[in-house]
Structure formats: C-alpha cells, structure tokens
C-alpha cells in the first residue's frame, strides 16, 4: 500500500500535525510518501529525518501561502504520478478544505476528521465521530480511486525518527495559475499556545460571570503551559475572540487535558472537545451536562476554585 501524507507548512516550516500524519501512516504499514509544498524546501529535510519516507518537494513562489486551488492542482499532479492508495491530511481549517477538494478532483472517497485508521484484512477502515461523538462510524475503502482522510490532531503522536529521502518534483507550470492570488497572511494572535496544537486547554464559559474575570483563566492556562479556550456564549458576548472558540462552530480540539470552567456542556460545545484524553469540569451546578462527559468534576464557584488551582499548580510546577 502506498500512503501519501500532506505536510502543510506555516512560515516555511511543517506544522506539527505533519509528523502526526507520518506516525498514522507508519501504523498502517506500506510505503510512505510525504508531499511538501512551499516557496522553499528548507523544512523538508526534517520530514525526511523523522520518517517521512519519500519526501516529494515542490517549490514555487505561489506556494508560500495556502491557496487551495493551486495546492489541489499540484497535489493532483503528484497523485497521478505516484498513484497512492491512501492520502492523509490534517483535520485543520485548511486541511479539511483541501482534502475535500482533492477527493472530488481525483474521484476518491473521503472520511473527514478521523480519529482512527486500521487495516482490517485487506481493507482500510477509518473511524470518525458523529452526533457530537455519541456515534462512531466505520468507513471502509472499497476499491475505486484513492481514499482520502483528514486526521484529527493529537490522535497520533508525532513521528520522531525514521528513514527518508528528498525528491525534488517537477510539475507543469500551468498548475500554479490561479484565479486568486494570496499576497499576505495575517493571523489573529492571542499571544499564547496555539489552541489546536495544545496539550492542555483551559476553557471559559458564562460561569466566569464577566469579561473582567477572564484573566483568571489565562493565569491558570499559563501555569499549566496551556492554551485558552472559550464557549460560544462568551465569544458571542464579546468577552473572547472567535479564535478561542471551541465547539461545533469553532475549533475541534483533542488535548491531553481539557479544563472546562463555568461551561454548562451544551452539545454544540461537546462536539469540539469530548474526545480530549482527560476532561475536568468546574461548575457550580452539580446537574450541569458537562459532568456527564467529565473524568473529574469540581462543584463550586469558579471565582474561588480557579485562583486556588492556579496557586497550587504554580507551587507544584514552579510556574
């Protein structure tokens, strides 16, 4: 089986999810290839040294910033040349858009936001959550074109080592033509850990009572070297930026530790975080739905509990 992973880049470096995809490919066995598109191949050698197999590099000025039209045409050319049976990409905002377009362009089936990939006999089976994670679907590749899957972050560990080689690919110049030109990329920054890449997330909800109290959440997150998340309710209220929103209309996260502070646990929020390895809920309502998915629960006032937790973690972790 030939497996092609797509290593998206940011500022000329592969995003962390690229190495998780390599580990996912390793778990399936077979021949691993990694596609790396950028305006320079500076980050490609790291992919090769960490198990990326045949790292197929395409360099062009138009690849500096993500453009799904151009990226799709370049990757389609690589797929036609190397004929992979499986194509894996990250379940990020850009990754999901790209994988769907690639599947349509190459006549393949697709599983989005997968949390598991296994070989069952001679079939590839992908697992993905539905209905807020209450149902897990098993999607089987049955012949046809390549099987495309976007893989949820933090499901697989990052690949640390392995053999690989760099292969500079040449594609027809027409693939770089686009109806859109990306001239600049601006990112709303919270000045902290990236939410989708964080191992620890502390999320705030209405239980924090007012926007002036949110620094308490930031202090707790900093003590744990984590990221700050938010429910839709406080984003809509203007207390927190949309970039911090976790849930159905925000980001899907999968950290090792998720602290939900003052969040009731509506299904729209649970969709984005219930696959976290460990969930700790803080809420003054003992009947709040969040406790149904939490591994640990603290019933009480967040205004008292959060500072106490911050103090404890600082003393224990030296933060």
Cα separation values, 164 from 1, 5, 96, 161, 294, Å = 17, 13, 26, 9, 41
Buried/exposed code over 43-80 (b: 16+ C-beta within 10 A; e: otherwise): bbebbbebbbbbbbbbbbebbbbbbbebbbbbbbbbbe
What range does the domain containing 93 cover? 2-176
> The dihedral of CA 225, 226, 227, 231: what is its sign?
negative
pLDDT in tens, 169-221: 999 999 999 998 888 887 665 556 788 889 999 999 999 999 999 999 999 99
Structurally, the chain folds into a number of domains equal to 2
Lookup: tokens for 88: 């894996």
Per-residue pLDDT at 194:
80
Whether 112 and 200 map to the same domain: the answer is: no
pLDDT at 319 over 60: no
Which whole number is the average pLDDT over 156-163? 94
From 33-37, 52-56, 264-268, 295-299, the region with the lowest mean pLDDT: 264-268
Lookup: tokens for 98: 């790209």
Q: Is residue 189 part of a domain?
A: no
Whether 19 and 162 map to the same domain: the answer is: yes
From 192-196, 233-237, 242-246, the region with the lowest mean pLDDT: 192-196
Q: How much is the mean pLDDT over the chain?
A: 93
Per-residue pLDDT at 191:
53
> Which CATH number does the domain housing residue 240 bear?
3.40.50.1220
Which whole number is the average pLDDT over 300-318? 94
For residue 130, name the pLDDT band (cuts at 50, 70, 90).
confident
Q: Provide CB contacts within 8 A for 244, sequence distance 6+.
A: 190, 195, 228, 229, 230, 235, 250
Q: Is residue 144 part of a domain?
A: yes
Which of 143, 176, 209 is the endpoint of a domain? 176
pLDDT in tens, 255-272: 999 999 999 999 999 999
Which of 176, 207, 224 is the endpoint of a domain? 176
Determine whether 4 is exposed, middle or buried from the number of CB atoms within 10 Å of its CB (0-12, 13-18, 19+): buried
Per-residue pLDDT at 189:
56
């Amino acid at each position: 089986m030939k497996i092609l992973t797509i290593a998206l880049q940011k500022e000329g470096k592969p995003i962390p999810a690229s190495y998780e995809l390599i580990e996912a490919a390793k778990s399936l066995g077979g021949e691993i290839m990694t596609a790396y598109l950028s305006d320079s191949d500076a980050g490609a050698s790291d992919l090769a040294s960490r198990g990326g197999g045949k790292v197929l590099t395409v360099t062009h000025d138009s690849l500096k910033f993500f453009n799904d039209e151009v990226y799709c045409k370049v990757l389609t050319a690589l797929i036609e040349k190397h004929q992979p049976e499986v194509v894996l990409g990250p379940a990020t905002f850009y990754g999901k858009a790209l994988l769907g377009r690639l599947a349509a362009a190459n006549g393949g089936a697709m599983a989005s936001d997968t949390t598991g990939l296994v070989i069952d006999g001679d079939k590839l089976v992908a697992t993905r959550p539905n209905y807020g994670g209450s149902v897990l679907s098993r999607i089987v590749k049955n012949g046809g074109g390549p099987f495309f899957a976007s893989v949820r972050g933090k499901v697989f560990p990052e690949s640390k080592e392995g053999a690989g080689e760099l292969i500079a690919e040449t594609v027809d110049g027409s693939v770089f033509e686009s109806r859109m030109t990306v001239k600049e990329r601006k990112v709303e920054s919270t000045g902290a850990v990236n939410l989708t890449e964080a191992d620890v997330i502390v999320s705030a909800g209405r239980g924090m009572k007012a926007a002036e109290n949110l620094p308490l959440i930031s202090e707790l997150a900093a003590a744990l070297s984590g990221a700050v998340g938010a429910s839709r309710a406080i984003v809509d209220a203007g207390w927190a930026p949309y970039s911090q929103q976790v849930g159905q209309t925000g980001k899907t996260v999968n950290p090792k530790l998720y602290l939900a502070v003052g969040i009731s646990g509506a299904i729209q929020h649970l969709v984005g975080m219930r696959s976290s390895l460990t969930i700790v809920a803080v809420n003054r309502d003992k009947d709040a739905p969040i406790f149904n998915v939490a591994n640990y629960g603290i019933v009480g006032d967040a205004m008292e509990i959060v500072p106490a937790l911050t103090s404890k973690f600082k003393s224990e972790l030296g933060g």
